[in-house]
Amino acid sequence: MLTKVVATIGPATATRDGIHSLAELGVDVVRVNFAHGTHEQHAEVIRWTREASDATGRPIAVLADLAGPKIRIGVLPQPIQLREKETVVLAPETEAAGNEIPTTYPQLAADVKPGDRILLDDGHLELRVDDVRGTRVECRIIRGGELKSQKGMNLPGVNVSVPALTEKDLRDLELAIREDVDYVGLSFVQRADDVKDLRTRIPKRTLIVSKIEKDNALENLEEIIAVTDAVMVARGDLGVELPFEQVPIAQKRIIQLANYFARPVITATQMLESMVNSARPTRAEVSDVANALFDGTDAVMLSGETAVGRYPFLAVEAMVRIATEIEKARRSGAANHAAPRREMPAHRDPRAGGTRTEHAVAGATVEAAKLLECPAIVTLTRTGFTARLVSSYRPPVPIIGVTDQPGTWRQLALMWGVQPVLCTSELSYDSMLACARDYLMRSGIARAGDRVVVTAGVPFHVRGTTNMMRVEAL
């Protein structure tokens, strides 16, 4: 399968057998959600994931997803009924008195101004700021209802001053580094500097997934994508920050730019949400997944479906079935009239994941594979850059990503169309090509005498030097 599947681990799957079952069903990336659970539990999940990878012989990447600065209502003695057109006052939880509503975010009064919107409880309740006095924020209730303790707060259009990494995130990051995770998810990214700050705190080989879930991240989208390694369309909070009718447009824009910048992109949240309680997805959910694939997403993510759902393994099976069918339709041309893929510009921006030489080689590799009707493309890579670049051009055949680095082998599991191969032989063109040839024959992708297009960066040890293309007969 060309599309990759990300599964969130939770009580429904957080056992050795559960994770082994996910691996056997085809999960490529295990998401460890640091918003829940203990460090001991997370370390255990990572260990079981490595065991499952060894047992199946398939690379499975680990995505450590940091919780980020979640702004919430504080603890209330009892639920409050908010009535439209009435006014309420928000105050820091250490100062709130009387009928004031406490908030866990002490900088709220410094960040908002009259006219700003404040959304509570996933957008079910809406306030409009009337006045700011010291640390107090007076608001008019626009959309009322019952407000309970510790409900989330969103501030659309507001540049919040809270840092992207909280103290909890920094403690969680220490565990992630110690466990040698493959990807770190950065929540509530607002600007490129948020990504750059995280980069200084992690090992060079660890890659960053920037989660696009705030409306002001969309304003800085190109700058964020240019400095990150991968992105996630996090439709949960994004669907609160934006009017719901704008979310599909934002999703398409994020995916298109990620493809353009040669960054893997994950589409997440409520993809098969009904399968938390149902053994079958709805038709609308199937269409949603299919449209994300047509848009060009690298991976689709299951959240509650595999974390707390009643049918976690059926959800993975459903996701695999949908992706397999869409890929089959694309190969046959049956889907082309319905969802033509936008062609990449002939000359990409220099920021877009490589130099013009590197893009020329990657583009020529894909065109040569089409012209020669090759069964596969072979990329020889140490960092994953070459495979990622070729993947962004969406060739019609599998990309065999051969590497001598175990970490890269796992990271390649996220990239669309890439089948990672770990080569333990001496590092050379001939030895890595031999590993690719052996894999192609064993997997039945190619037969003796078939031609494949091989691309690499020479010398191998220099990062980002995709500069060579050859046609080889197997």
The pLDDT, as a whole number, for residue 349 is: 54
Residues 149 and 169 in one domain: no
Residues 212 and 106 in one domain: no
pLDDT: which is higher, 400 or 341: 400
172 confidence band (pLDDT: 50, 70, 90): very high
342 assigned to some structural domain: no
pLDDT at 459 over 90: no
Residues 176 and 321 in one domain: yes
Q: How far lies 98's CA from each of 77, 161, 257, in Å?
A: 11, 27, 49
Distance of CA 14 to the CA centre of its chain: 20
195 assigned to some structural domain: yes
Last residue of a domain, one of 119, 154, 189: 154
The pLDDT, as a whole number, for residue 338 is: 42
What is the three-class DSSP state of 323? helix
Distance of CA 379 to the CA centre of its chain: 23
Residues 243 and 386 in one domain: no
Nearest to 397 by CA among 423, 424, 370: 370
pLDDT: which is higher, 172 or 361: 172
List pLDDT tens digits, range 259-282: 999 999 999 999 999 999 999 999
Residues 211, 212, 214, 220, CA torsion sign:
positive
Please give the helix or strand (H or E) that residue 473 lies within, else none: strand 466-473
CATH number at residue 144: 2.40.33.10
Sheet holding 451-457, edge to edge: 418-422, 399-403, 377-380, 451-457, 466-473
- Give CA–CA dist 19/382, Å, rounded: 28
The pLDDT, as a whole number, for residue 366 is: 94
Please give the helix or strand (H or E) that residue 304 lies within, else none: helix 304-307
First to last CA, the chain: 23
Distance of CA 40 to the CA centre of its chain: 24
236 confidence band (pLDDT: 50, 70, 90): confident
Q: What's the mean pLDDT in 427-438?
A: 92
Please give the helix or strand (H or E) that residue 39 lies within, else none: helix 39-56
How many domains, in total, are found in the chain?
3
Residues 135 and 235 in one domain: no
Q: Which residues pair with residue 439 across a beta bridge?
A: none
What proportion of the chain, given as a percentage, has pLDDT over 70? 94
364 assigned to some structural domain: yes
pLDDT: which is higher, 50 or 457: 50
343 assigned to some structural domain: no
- Give CA–CA dist 329/321, Å, rounded: 12
17 assigned to some structural domain: yes
Q: Name the residue range of residue 145's domain.
A: 80-154
Residues 200 and 301 in one domain: yes
List pLDDT tens digits, range 36-62: 999 999 999 999 999 999 999 999 999
Name 42's Cβ contacts closer than 8 Å, sequence gap at least 6: 32, 34, 64, 175, 179
Last residue of a domain, one of 125, 154, 183: 154
Residues 242 and 361 in one domain: no
The mean pLDDT of the chain is 92
Q: What's the mean pLDDT in 13-30?
A: 97
> Mind giving me the DSSP string for 130-183?
EEEETTEEEEEEEE-EEE-TT-BEE-TT----S-SS-HHHHHHHHHHHHTT-SE
The pLDDT, as a whole number, for residue 25 is: 97
Tokens of 441: 């024959």
Residues 286 and 394 in one domain: no
The pLDDT, as a whole number, for residue 69 is: 87
Residues 168 and 256 in one domain: yes
3-state secondary structure 230-283: EEEEEHHHHHHHCCHHHHHHHHHHHHHHHHHCCCCEEEECCCCHHHHCCCCCCH
- Give CA–CA dist 290/321, Å, rounded: 11
The pLDDT, as a whole number, for residue 337 is: 42
Nearest to 110 by CA among 48, 40, 156, 160: 160
pLDDT at 462 over 80: no
The pLDDT, as a whole number, for residue 339 is: 41
List pLDDT tens digits, range 445-454: 999 999 999 9
297 assigned to some structural domain: yes
Q: What's the mean pLDDT in 193-205?
A: 96
Q: What's the mean pLDDT in 431-436?
A: 94
The pLDDT, as a whole number, for residue 163 is: 86
225 confidence band (pLDDT: 50, 70, 90): very high
List pLDDT tens digits, range 414-423: 999 999 999 9
Residues 102 and 35 in one domain: no
The pLDDT, as a whole number, for residue 461 is: 62
The pLDDT, as a whole number, for residue 348 is: 52
List pLDDT tens digits, range 187-198: 999 999 999 999
pLDDT at 24 over 90: yes
List pLDDT tens digits, range 322-363: 999 999 888 776 555 444 344 444 445 545 566 778 888 899
Residues 142 and 177 in one domain: no
338 assigned to some structural domain: no
CATH number at residue 465: 3.40.1380.20
Which residues belong to the active site?
31, 72, 211, 269
CATH number at residue 315: 3.20.20.60
75 assigned to some structural domain: no
Query: What per-residue string of b and e applies to 206-216 under the rule 16 or more CB within 10 Å gives b?
Result: bbbbbbbbbbb
Residues 148 and 171 in one domain: no
C-alpha dihedral over 456, 461, 463, 469, to 10 degrees? -10
367 confidence band (pLDDT: 50, 70, 90): very high
